[in-house]
A and B are shown apart, each in its own frame.
Chain A
């Protein structure tokens, strides 16, 4: 049965090749890092990761999305920043207080190992912003 299905599959190769698309978790440029949580928790100044654009700015050349999980002590955020260009995230690499990881360039195991020091259950398989 599997062989027959495989033969059939080969016939659809051209169809498959036409359907290549980047998974929505891997679109754009993405950096994961641990940053302090800032904000006093009011509606005007909500809790959010440092560097998260707030109040909102619709700058297509800046950070276009972020999502985060709190660290185990609740003081910091494991955050993923998304931008259309790598240059828009360059400032993260220039902040000497951070250890940013660029998705697609750093092995998954390295990212998880580093983040789990502050968020024990961190699982890169289950983390990340799906850009609609």
Chain B
């Protein structure tokens, strides 16, 4: 083993054991352009990174992602004091990437478009996953969601799976045919005065699968019309954060939960179901599945099918 290889391995080990997801953080009111390739006409004022014109502007990270992959996360805070503008996070982007105007470069992008405040102060916006490859722009997905001053947008790519979060919401995943390589970045266009990308963090994506749920910790209670399952949670990945759990029933997706228990109320007396539990970490690494089988009991003929009445509460 060469010294260089050993050093690289040690660096990798330190990165993973250091439990530090974010390798770069910047408050954009004081933009240090030495880390970025800028396109368009970005402005960096008191509130952050903005671009007032329709062509917009972008900042694409100029260095390699520390783990040597092209998987990364962009986490941006958005200053919203009025309606309008577009606020973009880029992944696997070329240095000239830009969604504004007629667009440029190659990228996968997550964009908040046209946030609009109503007279009561409520804000709604469209959030879109955009891709530009070979000069062709595609809208891969889009959805409406609320918005607010200081909201946080997170966008990550792990292999061919893009993941987005808004504030503390559950993650939304999207299969993509994103460019194979490129850098993370941010962008803005048509931003009114007072609005901006105020801060950005760039992060790593973990690639190790979480441990499977231990079969011996799984508890099952089967009732005539309900099956309850609970288990001991698994540990977080190198970057922390409790995993969620995806549940399949008889091979079909049933639900996802951050709890370590669920109830299936779509069972009938006498039916048997196999539940498979996967731990899924924040980086969408899946553990091996852990399966349990439950059979809902059948009422005994001649007995009262209704459950017994509750006992009166004891006097205290």
List residues of chain A with CB under 8 Å of any chain B CB: 1-2, 4-6, 8-10, 12-13, 15-17, 19-20, 23-25, 39, 41-44, 46-48, 52-54, 56-58, 60, 64-69, 82, 108, 124-126, 129-132
Contact = CB atoms under 8 A, between A and B. Distances in A.
Given A1-B216, A9-B230, A131-B172, A19 B259 contact: yes
A12 B252 contact: no
Given A5-B217, A42-B103, A124-B253, A129 B137 contact: no
A46 B143 contact: no
A19 B137 CA distance: 41
B126 interface: yes
Interface stretch (B4-12, B67-75, B163-171, B179-187): B163-171
9 closest A-B pairs by CB: A5-B219, A65-B143, A56-B126, A132-B169, A43-B103, A41-B136, A67-B141, A130-B172, A23-B255
A5 B99 CA distance: 54
B142 interface: yes
Nearest to A13: B228
B141 A132 contact: no
Given A5-B230, A17-B263, A43-B102, A53 B173 contact: no
B221 A68 contact: no
Contacts of A60: 124, 144
Nearest to B145: A132
Contacts of B228: 9-10, 12-13, 16
15 contacts: A10-B228, A12-B228, A20-B263, A24-B170, A24-B256, A41-B137, A47-B136, A47-B139, A48-B138, A65-B143, A68-B141, A129-B143, A129-B172, A132-B145, A132-B165
B195 interface: no
A92 to B, nearest CB: 17
B189 to A, nearest CB: 10
**Most interface-central of A15, A43, A54 (chain B CB within 10 A):** A43
Contact of B138 (A1, A47, A64): A47
Nearest to B138: A47
A25 B143 CA distance: 13
A67 B170 contact: no
A12 B165 CA distance: 31
A17 B255 CA distance: 15
B216 A108 contact: no
A109 B270 CA distance: 23
Q: Which of A43, A54, A58, A132 has the most CB of B within 10 A?
A: A132
Contacts of A42: 102-103, 137
